[in-house]
Amino acid sequence: MPFDANDVDDVRKNSRIPDFPVEPLFIERWSPRAYDGVFQLSETDLMTMLEAARWAPSCYNIQPWRFLYAFRGDRHWDDYLSLLDPFNAGWAAQASALVIVLSDKMMPGDETHPAKPSGYHSFDTGAAWAQMALQATALGYQAHAMAGIFHDQIAEKLQVPKQYQVEIAVALGKRADPAVLPQELQEREEPSQRYGLQEIAFSGLFPTEALR
C-alpha cells in the first residue's frame, strides 16, 4: 500500500508496543524526517499546538517558555532554515513550520523578592515542548525536535534578549512517504524503541546494578 499522508493510520500507527496500557498518542508521536513539502499548515493548527504547550505545568507557574515561529515560504523562513545545522536543514526544509523554543532563565521578582535565576526553566520548557508535540500528533501532524541548531546565531538574528535561553527548534508538518528522503535517511525513518520500565524506574533506593 502506498503511503497516504491523509490516512491517520499511516501518519501515526507504528510498530511500538507499550509494556503497560497507555493512551495511544504517547506511542503514536515520533520524530520523522520525511515531510510533505507542499502542505501548508494553517495558523489555527499551529496556535492549537502552542495552546497545548501553554497549559504545561511549571515551577511556581512561572511559564518560562517562549516560542518564535515561521511558516514555510513566509518572509522569515529562509532565515530560520539557515539557523539549523546543515543536516537538519536538509530534511526540515520540507516541514510546514519551524518553531524556536526559548526559556526564561530568570524567576520574576515582586515587591518582596528580587528576580533570581531559575533552576527549572529548561525542565518546565521541556514539558511545554512535549505537550506541543503530542497535540501535533493528535491533529494528524508530527513534530521533530532539533538540538542541532546554531544557538548563538539564533539569539542574535532573532533578537532574543539575553535573559532567554535558546533551547531547541521544532520542525512541524505532515508526514510524507519516506521515499522523499535520501537513501541513508530512509533507513532511519522508523519510530525508535525505549528502555524497559524495569531499567528506568525503581522502588525505593537507586539500585547499584542499574548504574550505567
Ligand X SMILES: Cc1cc2nc3c(=O)[nH]c(=O)nc-3n(C[C@H](O)[C@H](O)[C@H](O)COP(=O)(O)O)c2cc1C
Residues at the contact surface with ligand X, assessed by CB under 6 A: 30-31, 88, 145-148, 168, 191-192
Axis crossing angle, helix 43-54 with helix 121-138, rounded to the nearest 10: 140
How far from chain centre, in Å, is Cα 14? 19
Residue 16 or 157 having the CB closest to ligand X: 16
Helix (H) or strand (E) holding 86: helix 86-92
Residue 126 or 155 having the CB closest to ligand X: 126
Residue 37 or 148 having the CB closest to ligand X: 148
Q: Which residue is nearest to ligand X (CB)?
A: 148
How far apart are CB 73 and ligand X at their closest, in Å?
22
How far apart are CB 194 and ligand X at their closest, in Å?
8
Residue 95 or 146 having the CB closest to ligand X: 146
Residue 59 or 130 having the CB closest to ligand X: 130
Three-state SS letters, 127-157:
HHHHHHHHHHHHCCCEEEEECCECHHHHHHH
How far apart are CB 82 and ligand X at their closest, in Å?
15
Give the cell for residue 28: 503514536
- Identity of residue 85: D
Residue 69 or 91 having the CB closest to ligand X: 91
Asked if 92 and 146 count as a contact pair (C-beta separation under 8 A), the reply is: yes
Q: What is the sign of the dihedral through the CA atoms of 4, 9, 14 and 15?
A: negative
How far apart are CB 146 and ligand X at their closest, in Å?
4
**CA 85, CA 146: separation in Å to the nearest integer?**
9
Asked if 94 and 35 count as a contact pair (C-beta separation under 8 A), the reply is: yes
Helix (H) or strand (E) holding 97: strand 97-104
How far apart are CB 109 and ligand X at their closest, in Å?
29
Helix (H) or strand (E) holding 11: helix 8-12
How far apart are CB 184 and ligand X at their closest, in Å?
12
